């Protein structure tokens, strides 16, 4: 596997790209930059004297925390997901694939340009109706895509996610220092870690997450995977995708709308606007679990809320899970 140190190996890297026919022989790399925030993979914007594109490479660990192992095959999942949904309607909402090197776990993608991910949503506290409509529409199209029979099971990534969504947030001695994130959060979390009825449902849905389903899902459908510029909307980063159940993506999306606004009405709205079959109860339960794990788990969001506001959200989430 090629692990260029791009600060010193730029010439080799340029030769590599030419050998793959990904650069024109006369094309020269002018500079590299980080296109945005990310933790898991190497993601770079390559700027040449003629254009720019994005390179994404998975490594056997989390790029930002190299001591944490991560499944190397995740880039293949991303490639196969994009490949499966390159149909007429969806192609306008995903980056084009420019190249893929399975041996080197490397994907070349169209540069979406001056787009920004939608993480700022939490700070704004409101969701644009038109954007939400588009997000629901795009998700429906993804879910209606017929995945090839050999679509990766993505089991290692699911196991990783399973730990962080369904297990660790609800474990008493999970080693997270929640009070370092916000004083009082640790105490707040204890109620839920001791709630046997709640944990039984979380366990059941966690099992469902690990079983085989019938619907191609994105697997990480939240503001960090949505990019916008003016009226354009793109979905990126499908490395957690697999053939599972639609309610997972729908519930996760709803959870982030609820965390953004504090309003539960988004569950009904998303469910009614979604073009497809979805069990509203299951979707509500997934949403509750997603809210909890984002508040008391390791994968925290830039969610600037008082401890009282978080207490309210957690209470809401519990009700949703027990619904
Ligand atoms: N095709 C693209 N065009 C423009 N910018 C992009 C593109 N792909 C990714 N980016 C930018 O790079 C950032 C990181 O990309 P991505 O989310 O795919 O990486 P990641 O390592 O999987 O991140 P994470 O750890 O959040 O899962 C994105 O948030 C976005 O800002
Ligand atoms: Mg990612």
172-230 tens-digit pLDDT: 999 999 999 999 999 999 999 999 999 999 999 999 999 999 999 999 999 999 999 88
Distance 157 CA to ligand 2 centre (A): 11
Domains 10-110 and 116-321 share a fold: no
| Architecture per CATH, 10-110 | 2-Layer Sandwich (3.30)
CA nearest ligand 1 atom 15, residue: 38
Q: What is the mean pLDDT of residues 139-158?
A: 97
Mean pLDDT of the chain: 95
pLDDT tens for 106-126 read 999 999 998 889 999 999 999
pLDDT band at 7 (very low <50, low <70, confident <90, very high): low
CA of 274 to the centre of ligand 1 (A): 26
Ligand 1 atom closest to the CA of 220, numbered from 1: 27
* 147, pLDDT greater than 90: yes
Q: What is the pLDDT of residues 10-43, one digit of tens each?
A: 788 899 999 999 999 899 999 999 999 889 999 9
CATH of 116-321, one of 3.90.1200.10, 2.60.300.12, 3.40.50.300, 3.40.309.10: 3.90.1200.10
Closest CA to 188 of 299, 282, 306: 306
Residue 288 has a pLDDT of 98
Would you kindly state where each structural domain of the chain is located, as residue ranges?
A: 10-110, 116-321
Mean pLDDT on 86-110: 93
* Nearest ligand 1 atom, CA 109: 1
Task: Please give the average per-residue pLDDT across 148-169, as a whole number.
Answer: 97
What percent of the chain has a predicted confidence (pLDDT) above 90?
90
* pLDDT score for 60: 94
**What is the best residue among 221, 237, 238, 239 to mutate for testing ligand 1's pocket, by most ligand atoms within 8 Å of CB?**
237
Of residues 78 and 229, more confidence is placed in: 78
């Amino acid at each position: 596997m090629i692990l260029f140190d791009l600060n010193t190996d730029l010439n080799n890297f340029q030769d590599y790209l030419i050998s793959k026919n990904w650069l024109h022989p006369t094309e020269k790399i002018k500079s590299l930059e980080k296109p945005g925030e990310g933790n898991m993979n190497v993601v770079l914007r390559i700027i040449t004297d003629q254009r720019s594109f994005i390179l994404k490479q998975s490594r056997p660990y989390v790029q930002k925390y190299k001591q944490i192992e991560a499944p190397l095959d995740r880039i293949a999942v991303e490639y196969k997901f994009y490949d499966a949904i390159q149909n007429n309607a969806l192609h306008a909402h995903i980056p084009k694939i420019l190249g893929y090197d399975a041996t080197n776990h490397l994907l070349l993608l169209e540069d979406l340009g001056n787009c920004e991910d939608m993480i700022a949503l939490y700070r704004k506290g409101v969701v644009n109706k038109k954007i939400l409509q588009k997000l629901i529409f795009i998700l429906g199209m993804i879910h209606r895509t017929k995945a090839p029979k050999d679509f990766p099971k993505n089991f290692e990534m699911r196991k990783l996610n399973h730990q962080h969504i369904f297990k660790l947030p609800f474990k008493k001695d999970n080693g997270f220092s929640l009070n370092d994130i916000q004083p009082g959060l640790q105490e707040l979390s204890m109620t839920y870690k001791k709630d046997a009825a709640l944990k039984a449902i979380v366990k059941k849905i966690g099992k469902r997450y690990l079983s085989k389903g019938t619907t191609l899902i994105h697997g990480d459908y939240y503001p960090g995977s949505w990019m916008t510029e003016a009226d354009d909307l793109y979905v990126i980063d499908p490395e957690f995708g697999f053939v599972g159940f639609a309610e997972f993506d729908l519930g996760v999306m709803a959870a982030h709308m609820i965390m953004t606004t504090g309003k539960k009405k988004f569950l009904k709205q998303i469910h009614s606007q979604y073009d497809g079959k979805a069990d509203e109860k299951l979707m509500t339960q997934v949403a509750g679990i997603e809210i909890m794990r984002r508040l008391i788990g390791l994968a925290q969001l830039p969610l600037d809320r008082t401890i009282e506001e978080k207490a309210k959200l957690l209470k809401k989430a519990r009700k949703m899970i027990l619904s």
